[in-house]
């Protein structure tokens, strides 16, 4: 299982940028261009080429993927994720570097590629299967399974132009989900359909992963990436930012998009009227910082510095999920903490949060302080630090995932009498 499946070395892709029009030439432009070339060379001599004409969508990317690994490719828009997948699926050629793939590749960059509105579900199923590289015999064998998965059996002989968006997507994904290559390259497929369908897709992807296939998955759905992938690759501006276990990759990504940005107050804290030091966070059992199991209490500590005379202050601890929803917001004031009056200096703050049974995933935690009677700059924020919760996970977007005890016994018939 540890055999290399994908080997990427120094991969790069350069694109011409500009308006859509300049991507293709007209014959007139080429003829004029040829005629004007010697002249332009004279004029341009000594001047550098205008910058911004070409851009590296991907540059110097190297990594290895072992057989059976499910790797999440994450990064912001324009980081080069799709370009990477397109090169690996051989849709486009790299400008530099090389890649080696061991095994049959199935790529799924879009669901429903090649679907034709006028054709029926059945006809499209065969056509799309062939486009994705399935043999006719293979499609025939899986036909019933695909139709059942798509839940469209009644409409299989209806032209797809009469399908609802949901039916269309279900059929398209169903075909793709029944591909059986050794290496599967998937781009943002999970972003389609309603929640129930997304859940079904995720379930199917999990099955694929369990079968020991190698999967490279591009997605913006971090919850999905975390639950499906074992490893991650983070791309930033065309380069490889990090590659490693999926937890730290997702964290890096969230840092990149500013979910854990260092607050401007934290650096100013040394000189301003108040400020926080570094926030550290740990569970009882976990050795790695910032990672706790959903069933254990968590300890948070930081330094709070007061740089001016004040009657008192209030401190709030805020935990948010990655969609920015507030999970909780708890506050305490200096009087209740037994600090009265408050003198200039540093205070150590310790907070114990009980077991919360949060749905496994990534959250962010930060502190906020308000000084009493301070009108100019009423609030001070600490850095946002990641709170990585492990344990049970439900794919549907919920905040809590408590461990309940379940019981079920048959009702005894005679009791009714």
Q: Which residues contact 56 (CB under 8 A, 6 or more apart)?
A: 12, 13, 14, 15, 95, 238
Q: Minimum distance between the CB of residue 55 and another protein, rounded to whole angstroms?
A: 12
Q: Check: CB of residue 387 under 8 Å from CB of residue 364.
A: yes
Distance CA(271)–CA(309), nearest Å, equals: 14
Nearer to another protein, 118 or 157 (CB): 118
Residue among 315, 317, 294 nearest 371 (CA): 315
Nearer to another protein, 196 or 211 (CB): 211
Distance CA(256)–CA(187), nearest Å, equals: 21
Q: Minimum distance between the CB of residue 9 and another protein, rounded to whole angstroms?
A: 9
Nearer to another protein, 96 or 394 (CB): 96
What's the sign of the alpha-carbon dihedral 226, 227, 232, 238? negative
Nearer to another protein, 136 or 325 (CB): 136
Nearer to another protein, 37 or 344 (CB): 37
Q: Minimum distance between the CB of residue 301 and another protein, rounded to whole angstroms?
A: 46
Nearer to another protein, 21 or 375 (CB): 21
Nearer to another protein, 97 or 307 (CB): 97
Q: Minimum distance between the CB of residue 48 and another protein, rounded to whole angstroms?
A: 25
Tokens of 383: 């850095």
Distance CA(364)–CA(381), nearest Å, equals: 13
- What are the CA-CA distances from residue 138 to residues 132, 135, 178 (Å)? 12, 5, 10
Q: Which residues contact 146 (CB under 8 A, 6 or more apart)?
A: 125, 139, 174, 175, 178
Nearer to another protein, 107 or 310 (CB): 107
The residue assigned the tokens 């293979």 is 138
Pairing of β 239-245 and β 54-66? unpaired
Strand-pair partners of 236: 239
Q: Minimum distance between the CB of residue 113 and another protein, rounded to whole angstroms?
A: 5
Q: Minimum distance between the CB of residue 58 and another protein, rounded to whole angstroms?
A: 12
Q: Minimum distance between the CB of residue 290 and another protein, rounded to whole angstroms?
A: 36
Q: Minimum distance between the CB of residue 205 and another protein, rounded to whole angstroms?
A: 12
Q: Check: CB of residue 382 under 8 Å from CB of residue 366.
A: yes
207 CA to centre of own chain: 20
What's the alpha-carbon Rg for the chain, to the nearest Å?
Answer: 28
Pairing of β 361-371 and β 105-108? unpaired
Q: Minimum distance between the CB of residue 168 and another protein, rounded to whole angstroms?
A: 15
Nearer to another protein, 210 or 284 (CB): 210
Strand-pair partners of 185: 107, 216
Contacting positions for another protein (CB under 8 A)? 15, 23-28, 30, 86-105, 107, 109-110, 113-114, 116, 118-119, 123, 126-127, 130-133, 135-136, 182, 207, 210-212
């Amino acid at each position: 299982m540890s055999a290399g499946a994908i080997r990427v070395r120094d991969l790069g892709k350069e694109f011409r940028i500009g308006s859509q029009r300049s991507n293709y030439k007209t014959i007139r432009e080429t003829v004029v261009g040829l005629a004007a070339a010697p002249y332009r060379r004279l004029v341009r001599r000594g001047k550098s080429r205008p910058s911004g004409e070409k851009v590296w969508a991907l540059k110097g990317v190297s990594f290895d993927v072992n057989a059976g690994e499910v790797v999440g490719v994450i990064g912001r828009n324009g980081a080069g994720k799709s370009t990477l997948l397109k090169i690996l699926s051989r849709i486009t050629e790299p400008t530099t570097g090389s890649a080696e793939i061991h095994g049959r590749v199935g790529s799924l960059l879009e669901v429903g590629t090649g679907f034709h509105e006028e054709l029926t579900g059945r006809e499209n199923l065969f056509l799309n299967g062939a486009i994705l590289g399935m043999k006719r015999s293979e499609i025939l064998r899986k036909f019933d399974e695909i139709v059942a998965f798509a839940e469209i059996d009644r409409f299989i002989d209806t032209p797809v132009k009469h399908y609802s968006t949901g039916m269309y997507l279900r059929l398209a994904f169903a075909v793709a989900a029944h591909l059986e290559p050794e290496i599967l390259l998937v781009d943002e497929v999970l972003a389609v359909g309603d929640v129930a369908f997304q859940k079904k897709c995720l379930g199917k992807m999990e099955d694929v992963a369990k079968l020991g296939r190698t999967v490279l998955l591009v997605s913006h759905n971090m919850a999905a990436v975390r639950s499906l992938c074992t490893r991650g690759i983070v791309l930033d501006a065309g380069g490889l930012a990090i590659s490693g276990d999926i937890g730290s990759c997702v964290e890096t990504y969230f840092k990149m998009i500013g979910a854990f940005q260092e607050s401007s107050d934290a650096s100013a804290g040394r000189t301003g009227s108040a400020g926080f030091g570094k926030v550290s966070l740990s569970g009882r059992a976990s050795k790695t910082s910032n990672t706790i199991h959903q069933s254990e209490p968590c300890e948070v500590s930081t330094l709070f510095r007061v740089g001016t005379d004040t009657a008192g202050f209030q401190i709030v601890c805020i935990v948010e999920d990655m969609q920015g929803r507030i999970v909780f917001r708890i506050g305490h004031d200096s009087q209740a903490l037994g600090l009265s009056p408050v003198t200039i200096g540093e205070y150590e703050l310790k907070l114990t949060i009980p077991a919360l049974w949060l749905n496994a995933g990534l959250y962010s935690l930060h502190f906020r302080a308000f000084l009493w009677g301070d009108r100019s700059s009423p609030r001070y924020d600490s850095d946002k630090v990641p709170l990585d919760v492990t344990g049970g996970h439900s794919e549907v977007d919920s905040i809590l995932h408590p461990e309940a005890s379940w019981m079920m016994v048959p009702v005894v018939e005679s009791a009714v009498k």
